[in-house]
Amino acid sequence: MRIYMDSRCCNRLFDDPSQERVRQEALAVQVILEQVLAGELTLISGDFFQLELQRGRDLNRRLSCLAFLRQAEIHVRQSDELLQCAKRLEPLGSKEMDVAHVAGAAVGAANIFLTVDDELLRKGRRILQIVGVPIAPPFRWLREMRQGGEP
C-alpha cells in the first residue's frame, strides 16, 4: 500500500503530547513509520516536502523530518503532471504547499493521503473527487486498517 504523509504528520511527533488527540496522532505516525521501515507500507515523498522542511526554524525537527523522508521509496519530482494536478486543486482555495502535497500524493499514486491538518481533512471529499486520493488522519486510518485486517 502506498501512503503519503504530509509534513504536519512528521512534525506531530514533536508536538506537545498533553492533548489526547496529539498523543494519538503522534503514536499513529510512529506506528505507520515502523511499518514503512518493515516494508509493509510504501512511503511517497516529493521535492516540495523537502523545500517546506528547509523553511523550518527548529533544526532538530528539520533533521528528524529529513530522516523521515529518506524512508520514502517513491519520490515525486516537480513535473508538468504535478503542476497540472495542482492546478485542478486550485478551486479548493488551499495553501500552495498543501496543494503541492495533495498533487504529489496523486502523481505518486498514493492509496491514501495522511494529514493532521483539519482544513485539508474537511476538504477530503472534494480532494477525492478531484484527484482520486482519499484523505484521512493517521490515527483513524490506522485504526480502520487494523479493523479491516490490513497494515
- CB 95, CB 110: distance < 8 Å: no
The verdict on pTM exceeding 0.75 is: yes
- Give the sign of the dihedral formed by CA 39, CA 50, CA 91, CA 5: positive
Q: pLDDT for 2-44, tens place per residue?
A: 999 988 898 898 899 999 999 999 999 999 999 999 999 999 9
The one-character DSSP state at 17 is T
Q: Per-residue confidence at 149, pLDDT binned at 50, 70, 90?
A: low
- CATH number of the domain enclosing 14: 3.40.50.1010
Q: How many domains does the chain have?
A: 1
Domain range holding 19? 2-147
Q: pLDDT for 83-101, tens place per residue?
A: 899 899 888 887 878 888 8
